[in-house]
Chains A and B, each alone.
Chain A
Amino acid sequence: MIVDALVVAGPNRFRPSSELRDIVAAAAAAGVEGLVVTPGRPLAYHLGPANDHLADAAGAASFPIARLGRVDPLCGADAAAEAQRCLGDLGCTGLFLHPGEEAFPIRQAAPVMEVAADRGVPVVVAAGLYALSEPLQVMELAAAYPSVPVVMTSGGQINISGLGMLDAWLALQHAPNLYVMTNGEYRQDFIERLARDLDATRVLYASFSPYFDLQYERSRVANARLDPAARSLVEGGNACRMFHLQPTSSIKH
């Protein structure tokens, strides 16, 4: 089962808004068989309604979908409460943090990480953002919460000189509960090295659409030289395991 392990749906202040049904259609056209979805940051500040909107949309979709609750750690106790609500009432199987759009350094994610540790769920972090979620900053977060799987988007680094790539590699080596997504990782040989020399169970194919191109990010992983076992894990096995995604039915709330 091929799973795009991160797309962003719904109203989005920072990118073109995409409704979940349109994303599902585009994903299916690209050969994707399951999705992990989190809401965009809506034009209004509050993330709670965005989590509700996504839950409703996913409930109406006839496509395997897992959801990540999006929370803003700067909201403190309210962030923890929203995380609990997402994981409980809304049926999310993980949480999503965007230090760029919610404007917080990842070290301030403690209120959310405490909930994730308590509930035993993974946390996906929009990574590679200067001073906010550099790979070694995310590594420190993962090290502080060793029971929480922490997933870095974007190969852990967003830098066309590749200057963050070694930091991403070192972070992954030092924090065994740290995982990485393939979106935007321009060095195919780095993706291949992660799967071959690090651990194929810690690499997840994701597009992070609409921040990255859904179709092209699918091609990026399809084009990588992975052995069959690694490919199965990277293209969907890891996402299914981590986010409890079932092949045949969407997760209802």
Chain B
Amino acid sequence: MIIDFHTHVDEAPAFGWIDPPDKIVALLDEAGIDLAVAMTYTDLPGLNPDALDYILDAVARFPDRLVAFVRLNPNYRAEAAAFLDEAVERGARGLKLHPTTTLAHPAEEPTVALLRRCGEIGIPVLFHCGDDPYTTPQTFALAAAGAPDCLIVLGHMGGYLHVEEAIAVAEMHDNLFLETSAMPYPSLIRVAVDRIGADRVLFGSDGPGCNPALELAKVRQAGLSADDEVLVLGANAARLLRLSR
């Protein structure tokens, strides 16, 4: 089973993104991907107060293809925490945090409090991890130390310029995982697997802006063993999402 751990569905004219769920599902079909973690572009509370309904409705339309993550702004503290509990109760299986859009530092208390809560209830957290302040691997190392029971996935595994650091912090913290989307270096996926183990590297596409078929080809180009590829392309995600099928 191939699982894409990072896709988006949303209709956010302010960002110029109109990506209803049909769009990503068509791309999943084209790429031969069975299931995808889906999240909005907008954070709650925020620009679209109906974002939770939107993502849950999208998943309800494609229950065999999409799994919902709720996207939150930790700076809203109590409101964000309430949204997290509501989202999980209504079927969300994880949390997405994007410090570039929320300006919530991963290692500061509002975010760490949410991470600890996710650790308590047993859901993973996907962070945007890239090239800007608030999103560098070192920030997530601090966050991981502050919430050791939370499984934290570093989307883009460091982006263009911080991949080596992402691998290094994952070596230091067992609760950090690396997700492959958008990062342009196939060979570094193999390096990550060799250094932190295939059970902590996950395939993601960041579709539909990034094409899932191309992102999948990148993982296959990395030259992993067959067993490792099975883990990276889906088995790890199934474990984190606690999928029974």
Contacts and interface: CB of A to CB of B under 8 A. Distances in A.
B160 A158 contact: yes
B160, B184, B210 interface centre (most CB from chain A within 10 Å): B184
Given A189-B208, A216-B218, A160 B159 contact: yes
Contact of B214 (A160, A163, A190, A223): A223
Interface string A204-235: 00000000110111011001100000000000
A160, A184, A188, A217 interface centre (most CB from chain B within 10 Å): A160
Given A160-B183, A184-B160, A219 B214 contact: yes
A161 B208 contact: no
Contact of B130 (A160, A212, A216, A223): A160
A99 B128 CA distance: 28
A187 interface: yes
A173 to B, nearest CB: 15
B221 A215 contact: yes
B209 A161 contact: no
Contacts of B128: 160-161
B209 A188 contact: yes
A212 B210 CA distance: 17
Nearest to A161: B100
Contact of A187 (B135, B209, B213, B218): B209
A216 B222 CA distance: 10
A187 B160 CA distance: 13
A217 B214 CA distance: 10
B206 interface: yes
Nearest to A162: B209
Interface in B171-188: 182-187
Interface residues of A, number: 20
B156 interface: yes
Contacts of A213: 184-187, 221
Contacts of B160: 158-160, 184
A96 B186 CA distance: 26
B60 interface: no
Given A159-B131, A161-B130, A161-B131, A216 B186 contact: yes
A60 B161 CA distance: 35
A161 B15 CA distance: 13
B217 interface: yes
Query: Range of interface residues on chain B?
Result: 20 to 34
Contacts of B182: 160, 186
A186, A187, A216, A219 interface centre (most CB from chain B within 10 Å): A186
Nearest to A217: B184
Nearest to B206: A186
A181 B160 CA distance: 16
A184 B184 contact: yes
Given A186-B210, A212-B184, A159 B221 contact: no
B214 A159 contact: no
Contacts of B211: 188, 223-224
B132 interface: yes
B130 A159 contact: yes
A159 B132 contact: yes
Contacts of A215: 186, 221
B184 A223 contact: no
Contacts of B185: 212-213, 216
B159 A219 contact: no
Interface of A: 158-161, 163, 184, 186-190, 212-213, 215-217, 219-220, 223-224
Given A159-B132, A160-B131, A219-B218, 20 more contacts: A158-B161, A159-B131, A159-B159, A160-B128, A160-B130, A160-B159, A160-B182, A161-B100, A161-B135, A163-B132, A184-B160, A184-B184, A186-B182, A186-B183, A186-B184, A186-B210, A212-B185, A213-B185, A215-B186, A216-B184
24 contacts: A158-B131, A159-B132, A160-B130, A160-B131, A160-B182, A161-B135, A163-B100, A184-B184, A186-B184, A186-B206, A188-B210, A188-B211, A213-B184, A213-B186, A213-B187, A213-B221, A216-B184, A216-B218, A217-B184, A219-B214, A219-B217, A220-B214, A223-B217, A224-B211
Interface of B: 100, 128, 130-132, 135, 156, 159-161, 182-187, 206, 208-211, 213-214, 217-218, 221
